[in-house]
Chains A and B, each alone.
Chain A
Amino acid sequence: MQKKTIICIIMLLLGVFVSVTSIQGCSKKKDVKKVAFVVTTLSNPFFIDMTDAAKAEIKNHPGYEIIIQAPERGATDVERQIQIVENLITQKVDALCVVPADSRSIIETIIKANKAGIPFLNIDNKVDFELAKERKAVVAAYIGSDNYLGGKLASEYIVVALNGKGKVAILEGVSGVEAAIKRKAGFVDYLKEYPDIKIVASQPADWDREKGLNIFQNILQANPDVKALFACNDEMALGAVEAIKAAGKEEQIIVVGFDATKDGLAAVENGSMAATVAQLPSEMGKMGILKAISILEGINIEKEIPTEVKLIEK
């Protein structure tokens, strides 16, 4: 009786496991080349757009297959992403397209990919090139948008909208991440030429909508007369939009986001956001796959492949 129960449960355990794995695990062919695409999270529409485009592109190339993975707990789980890439290297994929969760910690893993002879393509969040050089890590190509320029575009828009005068706030991305630093820097540097525009608050909201809402609510408490907000991504901008609605200040504050996600574009369309800087995640996904395939077919490619940024307003 006891033995039966135990065996039953173990069988159940095994059953669940096998059924879950066999859904995906069975589609393995030997002669197919695998391109792995690793992003920082699959709960952000930006990366979903990116991976969807990558998935769509790989269908045009018979003989290639895509593996899409991301840390379960999101963009701050740097170590988990590195584990994922290590696992892919062990598994001997043919090429790696990676959006690093952190621009420096990924470098030790790039070295491992180099040793295994797997080309490493850096997408979106740029690897710290100085440290990479020092550690002799080779990145096959960088594909991503110009974040500094994007920040500058946002500040240009706000300067015009405010007639060069007023208080502005910034919602930053995850502290220490290259894209977060560059976007803010582009924004802040351009505003230096306009002393009448004052940055009264600049706080990280970790790319997260809920944090964007809470933190901007706090900022509004301290600075009720803020005139414009630059949120370093649309998720935070949309959170802030909720805070503005709750405070009834839709007319007073203009919000500029970044990324032009589907939600962000809809908000620009209905006027709750003034503008958003468009990165083209789908372009990055597509280019990542195209360039990875070029490398695997022995075609030389550029080391830096910039993808477009542009300001989208209504």
Chain B
Amino acid sequence: MIKDVCLKYGMQLTLVLICITIGALQPVFLSLENISNILVQVAVISIISVGMTFVIISGGIDLSVGSVVAFSGMVLGYFLKSGHSIVLAIMLCMLVGFVCGVINGVIISAFKVPPFISTLGMMSVARGLALMVRGGRSISGFSDVFLCISNGTFLGIPWPIVIMFLIYLIAFVVSKYTYWGHYICAIGGNKRASWLSGIPIKIYIILIYGACGLLSAIASIILTARLNSAQPIAGNSYELDAIAAAVIGGASLSGGRGSICGTLVGALILAVLKNGLSILNIPSYTQQVAIGSMIVIAVVVDKVRERKLI
């Protein structure tokens, strides 16, 4: 019985265990205020990770997400500052993210460029464009209405958390109960077999990367509101956190396997560790050692668990 639970919910248990350990050492960690803190802090990375999970399940990788966050955020900031309506600015920001992703998808599917290279290119292009928007400067000072995205609450829950859970809900339904989700898995598992069985692979790949870009843009909206500033250097190396979250959550870098819920747990483990270690006043060098080893240990546990399941 215990064994079954351990096997099935290994990563969730690890998260709970980490929380209990930190909470025992420093009770502040489990205060409502700090938990809300962690969830707000994880929102940006976890939303990017949703897109990354789809990409990884399909057998690809997207290194450009961090730069796309910066670029779409700068576009958002630019239009907010030049007096356009908030809705228009947000739509344009999301469009920019989506287009960046679609370009990745087209290059990957139509020209057979490996995703690593194609998105590496986009990583540099989007970062450059982000810096070009205002000549390397950031854009700050937005209206209170816009800042509500980070400050405001819905039924007492901060908006970033609400948005994050909504996105996870949608992504969960898509991955579990739609053709979309099954096709992505099939493409990642065996591309040729999926093609032979009539799945329009090219269109799916373009849409997957498009979705990843779109989700990065949504993350950038929250980030921009949280910082009250659009930063051309924002999102630096977020791709690594997103990949880590997906892999900790059980996604396989060789494609065909991964879960949305797992990714949320993965992102939470990362966030809880960062928050917990800084609350425990662990010096920042030690924090890096601890976080790095915890990530690897968590995945090792998962691999052992997986072998037992089979």
Query: Which residues of A are interface residues toward B (Cβ below 8 A)?
Result: 2-3, 5-6, 9-10, 12-14, 16-18, 20-25, 42, 67-73, 76-80, 82-84, 86-88, 90-92, 102, 104-105, 107-108, 128, 131, 134-135, 174-176, 204
**In this assembly, does B189 line the interface, its C-beta being within 8 Å of a C-beta of chain A?**
no
CB-nearest residue of chain B relative to A134?
Answer: B141
Q: Do residues A78 and B2 form an inter-chain contact, with CB atoms below 8 A?
A: no
Instruction: List residues 1-31 of chain B with CB under 8 A from any CB of chain A.
Output: 2-3, 6-7, 10, 13-14, 17-18, 21-22, 25-26, 28, 31
11 A-B residue pairs with Cβ-Cβ distance under 8 Å, sorted by A, are: A2-B3, A3-B6, A9-B304, A16-B293, A16-B294, A21-B290, A25-B282, A72-B284, A72-B288, A105-B140, A108-B147
How near does chain A come to B95, taking the closest CB pair, in angstroms? 23
Distance, CA A13 to CA B294, complexed state (A): 7
Contact of A5 among B2, B14, B304 (CB under 8 A): B304
Please name all residues of chain B whose beta carbon is closer than 8 Å to the beta carbon of A16 when the two chains form the complex.
290, 293-294, 297
Q: Do residues B28 and A14 form an inter-chain contact, with CB atoms below 8 A?
A: no
Distance, CA A23 to CA B21, complexed state (A): 15
Distance, CA A204 to CA B300, complexed state (A): 41
Distance, CA A86 to CA B3, complexed state (A): 39
**In this assembly, does B223 line the interface, its C-beta being within 8 Å of a C-beta of chain A?**
yes
Please name all residues of chain A whose beta carbon is closer than 8 Å to the beta carbon of B236 when the two chains form the complex.
73, 76-77
Q: A13-B17, A20-B289 are in contact. Are A176 and B283 (CB under 8 A)?
A: no
Q: Do residues B228 and A175 form an inter-chain contact, with CB atoms below 8 A?
A: no
* Besides A10-B14, A175-B233, A176-B136, 7 new A-B residue pairs in contact (Cβ under 8 A), listed by A number: A10-B301, A20-B282, A24-B283, A25-B280, A86-B41, A105-B227, A128-B140
How near does chain A come to B35, taking the closest CB pair, in angstroms? 10
Please name all residues of chain A whose beta carbon is closer than 8 Å to the beta carbon of B37 when the two chains form the complex.
86-87, 90
How near does chain B come to A46, taking the closest CB pair, in angstroms? 16
Q: Closest 6 A-B residue pairs measured CB to CB? A: A175-B136, A105-B227, A104-B140, A105-B229, A104-B229, A176-B137
Q: Do residues B274 and A83 form an inter-chain contact, with CB atoms below 8 A?
A: yes
Distance, CA A174 to CA B150, complexed state (A): 26
Instruction: List residues 223-238 of chain B with CB under 8 A from any CB of chain A.
Output: 223, 226-229, 231-234, 236-237
Distance, CA A32 to CA B167, complexed state (A): 44
Contact of B281 among A13, A67, A73, A131 (CB under 8 A): A67
Q: Do residues A78 and B231 form an inter-chain contact, with CB atoms below 8 A?
A: yes
Distance, CA A10 to CA B223, complexed state (A): 35
Q: Do residues B34 and A175 form an inter-chain contact, with CB atoms below 8 A?
A: no
Please name all residues of chain A whose beta carbon is closer than 8 Å to the beta carbon of B41 when the two chains form the complex.
83, 86
CB-nearest residue of chain A relative to B138?
Answer: A176
Please name all residues of chain B whose beta carbon is closer than 8 Å to the beta carbon of A90 when the two chains form the complex.
28, 31, 33-34, 37, 279
Contact of A108 among B226, B280, B284 (CB under 8 A): B226
Contact of B3 among A3, A14, A22, A134 (CB under 8 A): A3
Distance, CA A84 to CA B277, complexed state (A): 10
CB-nearest residue of chain B relative to A12?
Answer: B297
